[in-house]
Structure 1
Amino acid sequence: MTPRANWKGLLRVGELVCPVALYTAVLTSERIALHILNRATGHRVQRHFVDEETGQPVERDDQVKGYEIGVGDYVILEPDEIAAAVPESDRMLTVSAFIACREIDDIYLDRSYYLAAGRGAETSDEESVYPLIRDAMRDMKVAALARTVLFRRLRTLLVRPHGTGLIASTLHFDYEVRSVDEAFQDIPGGGLKDEMIDLARHIIGTRTGHFDPAAFDDRYEGALAELVRAKSEGRRIEAPSRPARGTVVDLMEALRASAGQKTPPGRPSGGRSGARRKAG
């Protein structure tokens, strides 16, 4: 079955224009969905909105959105007011700039969509615009920044070559991405010996592989599916044993063990290395 496009419009780069369509690249519908049930009856539970002061249910027609400007003080926004304030879509995905792929910070990437060539090209030259843009971007190793109204919001998208087509990713706004300073402030500094760095590089080198998403296992979904099967069949499922967490007592010994090397003769086992004291 042909997938349904999330958005259809025109891709514009200067005076070059071609029809395009956005398709969801990542699906979550195959995940196991769990419902909330009444333990006593086994019936599904429905969710209702209630007034937090009176405790009375609020019907859908009486529900309205609001923004809190003070404690308990809200500005009410009617649906038609919100609709009037939202930019209208002109169905035009306009490229504002091209940037080197190496400059892209992945933390800003939000959700990805396949940006496919759409139907409706009026001339053969217009049909050639899409592959022309794709190939030129791939040759120059660049991505495009483009803007359009998507899902009632003006969004910036990052467009990159992907296989025989293009992929467009919505971007987080800068104010949405938290600073790393607080998260990384407790990470210890340097003081590591060259030998330690060499051993770490050796360990990484011996474990270098390739990115293969097909090899990734969704252990949560698998365990949940097995639990559902076991309970529906009346079987008892045993919880898997948890691997013991190792403790690094001597960093140099742990590095040598990971690299398949033995502790040099005469070196006592255990204890803390000088480098470990500095790092800690």
Structure 2
Amino acid sequence: MNGVPRDGPPRFLRLSLVTCPVALYPATSESEKVSFNQLNRKTGHRIKYAKVDADTGEEVDNEDTVKGYKVDTDTFIEVTKEEIENVALGSTRTIEIDEFVDRSEIDPRYLIRPYCLTPDGKVGHDAFAVIRDTIREMNKVAIGRVVLTNREHIIALEPLDKGLMGTLLRYSYEVRSAEEYFDDIQDVKMTRDMLDLARHIVNQKAGRFEPDKFEDQYETALIDLINQKRAGNPITTKARPRSENVVDLMGALRKSIGDERAAKVSKPAKKPRKVASGQKEMLMPIAGKKPTKEVAAKKPAAKPQRKSA
């Protein structure tokens, strides 16, 4: 599967008496994001974290570390790895489909993380196709249960190309009531003119969601900062953007329409960012990716690789 490790052991997808072996793969990755280590400012050395006994101050080896549930300040109930593994979970290896619901019934707040499901091995493709195509034709989302890292999760299954996408869902007790936050919002009566102007702005910005159009500006700024420091260039502090309260809402809406029209007229075609002179040798390709130059030479039409520190 393109070098992507499966998540957990082999599993079975079951719809009533129809069963097929499946593999579960993470559908997203954050490995390309910039990450930092903590250093000792005085020596520049990396800081290591040790497990230390809170009372004796002595370091504890991994084999002597166990899980404990806190009852009160000084009392813990010790639970071993074997005891946790022996907890009876019927869906440990099986993704059991319990029901089918409309996609619109799933509140976005319940969505956690997507996975890709594929048939595992050469057998089971027919059964997998039956389950996938039935869900697609019924225009429903299958709701089941799956065990990951010794915890049972709700999973929503829906067709995605030739496979299935499984999205982990939160339990009801994990989702806070919106009223906790929205009760203090004032009821405001908007005039028709204001709503018409706001709709006009929305129509000017209307488009299709294309993830490739968006750039993680913070991540790009971090990479630029690191490359500048590696080159020994001075770092200048940028002025923070000012945020002011809008006093004349109608005036702000009219000005927004004018700014949007001007932006559309003057907006140049987006070009790939150029690497500054003397900076190429400092840029390292992202792990697991081909260098940008090589990719560009072989696949001119492919989307540009994100610059890496």
CA gap of 1:130–1:242, structure 2 versus 1, over 3 A, is same
> Take 1:47 and 1:117, find their aligned partners in 2: how far apart are those partners?
41
Deviation at 1:56, TM superposition (A): 3.3
Give 5+ residue unaligned stretches, structure 2.
260-309
In the alignment, which residue of structure 1 is the partner of 2:240? 242
Do structure 1's residue 117 and structure 2's residue 119 form an aligned pair? yes
Output one character per residue of 1:157-192: Cα deviation in whole Å (capped at 9) or x when no partner.
Answer: 111112232100111111111221122222221322
Output one character per residue of 1:201-238: Cα deviation in whole Å (capped at 9) or x when no partner.
Answer: 22212211211111221122211111111111111232
Q: Is the 8 A contact 1:50 1:58 kept in 2?
A: yes
In the alignment, which residue of structure 2 is the partner of 1:6? 7
Percent of aligned positions that are identical: 37
Q: Is the 8 A contact 2:21 2:120 kept in 1?
A: yes
CA gap of 1:20–1:40, structure 2 versus 1, over 3 A, is same
Deviation at 1:90, TM superposition (A): 5.0
> Take 2:22 and 2:63, find their aligned partners in 1: how far apart are those partners?
38
Deviation at 1:144, TM superposition (A): 0.5
Output one character per residue of 1:32-76: Cα deviation in whole Å (capped at 9) or x when no partner.
Answer: 221111222222111012233443333333332211222322222
Greater gyration radius? 1
SS in structure 2 at match of 1:259? helix
In the alignment, which residue of structure 2 is the partner of 1:94? 96
In the alignment, which residue of structure 2 is the partner of 1:75? 77
> Take 2:219 and 2:118, find their aligned partners in 1: how far apart are those partners?
31
CA gap of 1:258–1:239, structure 2 versus 1, over 3 A, is same
- State the TM-score, normalized to the length of structure 2: 0.76
SS in structure 1 at match of 2:84? helix
Q: Is the 8 A contact 1:88 1:152 kept in 2?
A: no
The amino acid that maps onto 1:65 is K
Deviation at 1:31, TM superposition (A): 1.8
In the alignment, which residue of structure 2 is the partner of 1:55? 57
> Take 1:174 and 1:37, find their aligned partners in 2: how far apart are those partners?
41
Output one character per residue of 1:93-133: Cα deviation in whole Å (capped at 9) or x when no partner.
Answer: 11110100111111111111111122141xxxx53332333
Where do residues 251-270 of structure 1 align in structure 2 (5 Å cutoff)? 251-260=249-258
In the alignment, which residue of structure 2 is the partner of 1:158? 156
> Take 1:229 and 1:20, find their aligned partners in 2: how far apart are those partners?
43
CA gap of 1:116–1:239, structure 2 versus 1, over 3 A, is farther
SS in structure 2 at match of 1:144? strand
Name the Cα RMSD after superposition.
2.2
Q: Is the 8 A contact 1:89 1:152 kept in 2?
A: no
Do structure 1's residue 210 and structure 2's residue 208 form an aligned pair? yes
In the alignment, which residue of structure 2 is the partner of 1:141? 139
SS in structure 1 at match of 2:116? strand
Q: Is the 8 A contact 1:86 1:153 kept in 2?
A: no
- State the TM-score, normalized to the length of structure 1: 0.83
